[in-house]
Amino acid sequence: MKRTLHVVALLLAALAFFAPRLAHAHKASDSYLTLTPHGDTVDVRWDIALRDMDAALGLDESGDGHITWGELQAARAMLTEWAFAGLALSVDAGACKVLTGDAELGTTTHSDGAYATLLARATCPGDATRLTVKYTLLFDVDRLHRGVVRVKGGADDTIFVLQDSAREHTFEGVAKASPLHFVREGIGHIWSGIDHLAFLFALLFPAVFRRQPDGKWAPVPRLRDAAVDVLRIVSAFTVAHSITLGLASFGYVSLPSRLVEATIAASVVLAAVNNLRPLFREQRWGVAFILGLVHGFGFSSALADLGASRDTLLATLVSFNVGVEVGQLSLVALFLPLAFLARNTQAYRRVVLQAGSAAVALVGAVWVVERAVGLKFLPF
Amino acid sequence: MSRRRIAAFAVFATLITTVIVVAKPAAVNAANVDVRVPTDPNEILEKSQGQPARRKGRAAAPTVDEAVSLAQAEIDAGRASGDPRALGRAKAALGAHWDDPAAPASVVLLRATILQSLHEFERADAELTGLLARSPENDQARLTLATIRTVRADYKYAEAECPKLGDALSAAVCLGNAWSLTGRSAAAEVKVGEALGTLGQGGAPRTRAEIVWAISSLGEYAERQGARDRAEAYYRKALQVSPSDPYVLRAYADLLLDLGRPAEVLPLLALYTEQDALLLRVVVAKKRLGQTGAVTVARELAERFAAVRLRGDRAHLREESWYEREIVGDAARALTLAQENWAVQREPADARVFLEAARAKGDLAATAPVRALLAETHLEDPTLLALARSTP
């Protein structure tokens, strides 16, 4: 989630530069609460006006008449606690628990000015098909304040406005997370997971060549040869990560996530270096299988983050895995024809295969260090 | 290309398209694309209003007087800036007194003022009627009730009660408003003019708000007599006293639009576009001037209307009706909004949007309630009467 936020922040900063706005509207106070249930967890997005937070808590620590991002960040823990004290979510089986410690803070704009955005996750004791929202935020400061609550669930999208005189509402028939949802998450995980991308590309760069007995690369004559090679590699990778993803999701095996993440980074280095200096010869699918076992543990922690319901874990697992496959195949489909057309050029060989692999190896090496010692050097 | 290549190409293309369609929402986490995480801690996000007064005083429950003065301060600030958040804060400042049926007169008056500002005229009326039954000598309650009844086109109360007000200027404007809305604008202008003329001649000291209220009322009386030059002079004088008064700015902008001088509206309102009603006048002026920027500003206004509608507020109907008719061009929707607005308030401005919407839609039958009121009250306003005659 954080990674997406960074990318989006850059895009929006660029947009904001070109779109001057008028003075912000004078408007009565509203907060915008968006709840997205997945099984027994609920994704919470809450936009609260900085003016309202300021009136309730006092955010201008420096007293210069402005609220800065630094001041907002410094108050993060306090305002997260304050905000979620004004919200209670429950399902039929009991009260949900908002994981306020993991809440992320951002900022956005509505018609009446800047808002703080809190992104958090709630875990519930059962599926959130009937979700009750009890809302008490800000009524002590502004009795005309309203909470615009939106519950997203599959195709359904319901809005209910809570106010001082009506502070509670039960959203009925919130759709269960559809298998398609997890397919999408799987695809999204591949496309936005830069380490998986790096690994895949490291495997794909040489797919339009054959290794000669002397260790040099020669272009393949037909697209089908390249496709068959890639298919073999991707299938091996898939079978392998499906095994470990299943084992980890059902709780049979559990590895420390730092080890898993560092090993995934190491696999990226390995795959990239193999393009420069032959390490495994023609057994690249075997390597893909072994490395796939490691990546499966990585997928399982991503899946756990999505909050799959325990009752439907198998279906979720299959859906997510299908998504991962579709995500991979789509990259292959995008890349392979282009690579095939360019395979005879010096540019492909020098820039993509040699320099590209070297770059991936370098980045992967930094990741290994970062993840092994728990430090951060790269912005991604 | 060989057939096999074409087939392969087709397969790839289909696959890619499918994936892009299916994966798009997840790939960019579309729900949160507007959220950003600034990198510069010194980036200014918003103005601060300083340390919250309520937090300082939270240790002890405020007395009634403290609560009333805090609420009054919020209302005054809101009136000056046109910021509706002030009303909710005033309401919160009253705390438990808001629901107390035995609350003192000062609290009841504030409750009525807040309800009136929220266009909850019936509840405000009930509060004030109850208060006057208990303490008939309460002039503030009498004045506020007369104002509410006048807005609702009930002029009998004002005619009977305004003269009883102890303060001469308040009595004059209170009565003048009722007179002007029932065909006696010239007499109203004389009466309020006289009351204003005694200022500084040993009369009670006046707040700026009272003077602006009186002068801008004179402007309305002049407009209804068709004396637009005189009206303009009054509005300009009122703006000299209080340059940012939202009510006067709106009245003067409307006059300029009627006079066919939209170019002058833009500098007049440039600093006050945070108020939706004033932004509407800017949009209208830009559109009439054929400015290309009109579209952008209109979109901003539409967003604001949408946000207000989303929270369930209905206080914007008059402005929305005008917007739908002149900017969007949806006469049917404009008429529906004008009719809904007419159920709540019946000032000349409400009659105006109603008649304009009906004319745009070509629906004469719909205007019956407005025509009936115009006939009954003998309202003089030439613009309104011309519109009533020509509708559709």
Token pair for residue B235?
A: 């509005």
Residue A126 near residue A92 (C-beta atoms within 8 A):
yes
Residue B32 has pLDDT above 60, yes or no: yes
CB contact under 8 A, A65 and B50: yes
CB-closest option in B9, B87, B273 to A23: B273
Token pair for residue B97?
A: 């007194």
pLDDT of residue A10: 45
A 249-288 residues with CB below 8 A of B? none
Query: What percent helix, strand, coil does chain B show, rounded to 5?
Result: 75, 0, 25
Residue B132, in any domain of the structure: no
Residue B176 has pLDDT above 60, yes or no: yes
| Shared domain check, A224 and A155 | no
DSSP string of B109-165, one letter each residue = HHHHHHHHHTT-HHHHHHHHHHHHHH-TT-HHHHHHHHHHHHHTT--HHHHHHGGG-
Token pair for residue A38?
A: 């997945």
Residue B217, in any domain of the structure: yes
Residue A128 near residue A10 (C-beta atoms within 8 A):
no
Smallest CA–CA separation between B78 and chain A, in Å?
10
Rounded Cα–Cα distance for residues A329 and B12 (Å): 10
Q: Residues A347, A350, A354, A356: what is their CA dihedral angle, to the nearest 10 degrees?
A: -30
CB contact under 8 A, B37 and A30: no
| Shared domain check, A284 and A161 | no
**Best residue in B45, B111, B300 to probe A by mutation, most A CBs within 10 Å?**
B45
Q: Does A302 touch chain B (CB under 8 A)?
A: no
Taking CA atoms, A162 is separated from A32, A136, A137, in Å, by 10, 9, 10
Of B219, B243, B267, the position where a domain reaches its end is B243
**Which residues span the domain enclosing B375?**
314-392
Residue A374 has pLDDT above 50, yes or no: yes
Mean pLDDT over A279-291 rounds to 77
Residue B172 has pLDDT above 90, yes or no: yes
Q: Does A81 touch chain B (CB under 8 A)?
A: no
CB contact under 8 A, A326 and B19: yes
Of B226, B243, B260, the position where a domain reaches its end is B243
CB contact under 8 A, B22 and A12: no
pLDDT of residue A4: 45
Quick one: B99 exposed, middle or buried, by C-beta within 10 A (0-12, 13-18, 19+)? exposed
Rounded Cα–Cα distance for residues A201 and A267 (Å): 12
Q: Does A327 touch chain B (CB under 8 A)?
A: yes
pLDDT of residue A372: 76
DSSP string of B244-262, one letter each residue = T-HHHHHHHHHHHHHTT-G
Rounded Cα–Cα distance for residues B324 and B326 (Å): 6
- pLDDT band for A147, please (50, 70, 90 cuts): very high
- pLDDT band for A316, please (50, 70, 90 cuts): confident
Residue B286, in any domain of the structure: no
Amino acid (one-letter) located at B311: R
Residue A358 has pLDDT above 70, yes or no: yes
- pLDDT band for B11, please (50, 70, 90 cuts): low
Instruction: Residue B39: list chain A partners with CB under 8 A.
Output: 9
Rounded Cα–Cα distance for residues B290 and A299 (Å): 57
DSSP string of B283-327, one letter each residue = HHHHHHHT-TTHHHHHHHHHHHHHHHHHTT--TTHHHHHHIIIII
| Shared domain check, A360 and A241 | yes
CB-closest option in B25, B40, B311 to A148: B311
Of A151, A171, A191, the position where a domain reaches its end is A171
- pLDDT band for B220, please (50, 70, 90 cuts): very high
CB-closest option in B43, B275, B311 to A161: B311
Residue A238, in any domain of the structure: yes
Counting residues of chain B whose pLDDT is more than 70, the rounded percentage is 86
Residue B373, in any domain of the structure: yes
Most confident range, picked from A242-246, B206-210, B323-327: B323-327
Nearest CA in chain B to A57: B52
Residue A11, in any domain of the structure: no
SS3 A292: helix
| Short-list B42, B43, B295, CA closest to A13 | B43
Per-residue burial over A342-370, b = 16 or more CB atoms within 10 Å of its CB, e = otherwise? ebeeeebbeebbeebbeebbebbbebbeb
- A266 Rama class: left (phi>0) / alpha (psi -120 to 50) / beta: alpha
CB contact under 8 A, B52 and A57: yes
Instruction: Residue B15: list chain A partners with CB under 8 A.
Output: 329-330, 333
Nearest CA in chain B to A191: B27
Residue B149 near residue B155 (C-beta atoms within 8 A):
yes
Smallest CA–CA separation between A315 and chain B, in Å?
18
pLDDT of residue A379: 60
CB contact under 8 A, B34 and A329: no
| Shared domain check, A199 and A160 | no
Rounded Cα–Cα distance for residues A272 and A289 (Å): 16
Residue A8, in any domain of the structure: no
Q: Which residues contact B229 (CB under 8 A, 6 or more apart)?
A: none
> Mean of the per-residue pLDDT values for chain B?
86
Rounded Cα–Cα distance for residues A253 and B292 (Å): 64
Of A134, A153, A171, the position where a domain reaches its end is A171
CB-closest option in A11, A21, A187 to B22: A187
H helices of A219-347, in order, are: 223-249, 257-276, 284-306, 313-342, 346-347
CB-closest option in B27, B37, B46 to A9: B37
| Shared domain check, A347 and A308 | yes
> Domains in chain B: how many in total?
2
CB-closest option in B28, B50, B89 to A141: B89
Token pair for residue B21?
A: 């369609």
Q: Which residues contact A117 (CB under 8 A, 6 or more apart)?
A: A45, A46, A47, A105, A106, A107, A108, B32, B35
Smallest CA–CA separation between A171 and chain B, in Å?
18
Rounded Cα–Cα distance for residues A107 and A13 (Å): 12
Rounded Cα–Cα distance for residues A259 and B104 (Å): 70
Instruction: Residue B45: list chain A partners with CB under 8 A.
Output: 50, 66-69, 72, 107, 114
Amino acid (one-letter) located at B111: R
Bond into B392 cis (ω within 30): yes
Instruction: Residue A161: list chain B partners with CB under 8 A.
Output: 310-312
Q: Which residue's entry shows tokens 């993509």?
A: A352
Instruction: Residue A113: list chain B partners with CB under 8 A.
Output: 46
Residue B244 near residue B271 (C-beta atoms within 8 A):
yes
Residue B248 near residue B238 (C-beta atoms within 8 A):
yes
Residue B117, in any domain of the structure: no
pLDDT 10s digits, B127-145: 999 999 999 999 999 999 9
Residue B29 has pLDDT above 50, yes or no: no
> Domains in chain A: how many in total?
2
Residue A293, in any domain of the structure: yes
Token pair for residue B257?
A: 């639009």
Instruction: Residue A52: list chain B partners with CB under 8 A.
Output: 85
Q: Does A12 touch chain B (CB under 8 A)?
A: yes
- Its ipTM equals 0.78
| Shared domain check, A186 and A167 | no
CATH assignment at residue A290: 1.20.1250
Nearest CA in chain B to A13: B36
**Which residues span the domain enclosing A342?**
179-373
| Shared domain check, A345 and A287 | yes
pLDDT of residue A311: 61
Of B198, B223, B243, the position where a domain reaches its end is B243
| Shared domain check, A219 and A114 | no
Of A130, A150, A171, the position where a domain reaches its end is A171
Residue B329 has pLDDT above 80, yes or no: yes
Q: Does A31 touch chain B (CB under 8 A)?
A: no
How many other CB atoms sit within 10 Å of the CB of residue B262?
A: 20
| Shared domain check, A129 and A201 | no
| Shared domain check, A341 and A288 | yes
Among A73-87, A155-169, A276-290, the least confident range: A276-290
Mean pLDDT over A197-223 rounds to 80
Residue B48 has pLDDT above 50, yes or no: yes
Phi first, then psi, for residue B259 (nearest 5°) are -80, 0
Smallest CA–CA separation between A345 and chain B, in Å?
21
Residue A15, in any domain of the structure: no
| Short-list A36, A278, A350, A59, CA closest to B31 | A36
| Shared domain check, A70 and A49 | yes
Rounded Cα–Cα distance for residues B388 and B368 (Å): 10
Residue B27 has pLDDT above 50, yes or no: no
CB-closest option in A25, A65, A68 to B41: A68
State the number of CA atoms in the 13 A half-sphere of B106 facing the CB. 11
- pLDDT band for B57, please (50, 70, 90 cuts): very low
Per the model's pLDDT, the better-predicted residue between A305 and B265 turns out to be: B265
CB-closest option in A12, A330, A337 to B19: A330
CATH assignment at residue B199: 1.25.40
| Short-list B365, B340, B118, B179, CA closest to B353 | B340
Smallest CA–CA separation between B56 and chain A, in Å?
10
Q: Does A228 touch chain B (CB under 8 A)?
A: no
pLDDT of residue A377: 63
- pLDDT band for B256, please (50, 70, 90 cuts): very high
Across B21-86, the runs of DSSP E, i.e. the strands, are: 44-47
pLDDT 10s digits, A24-73: 778 889 999 999 887 788 889 999 999 999 988 888 888 888 999 999 99
**Best residue in B48, B119, B279 to probe A by mutation, most A CBs within 10 Å?**
B48
> Mean of the per-residue pLDDT values for chain A?
81
Nearest CA in chain B to A55: B52
- A135 Rama class: left (phi>0) / alpha (psi -120 to 50) / beta: beta
| Shared domain check, A275 and A247 | yes
Residue B318, in any domain of the structure: yes
Q: Which residue's entry shows tokens 């895995």?
A: A321
Q: Which residues contact B202 (CB under 8 A, 6 or more apart)?
A: none
pLDDT of residue B315: 75
Write out the H or E segment, with its range, that includes residue B107.
Answer: helix B105-117
Q: Which residues pair with A149 in a beta bridge?
A: A33, A160
The separation between CA A323 and the C-alpha centre of its own chain, rounded to angstroms, equals 14
Smallest CA–CA separation between B233 and chain A, in Å?
29
Counting residues of chain A whose pLDDT is more than 70, the rounded percentage is 86
How many other CB atoms sit within 10 Å of the CB of residue B4?
A: 11
Per the model's pLDDT, the better-predicted residue between A278 and B336 turns out to be: B336
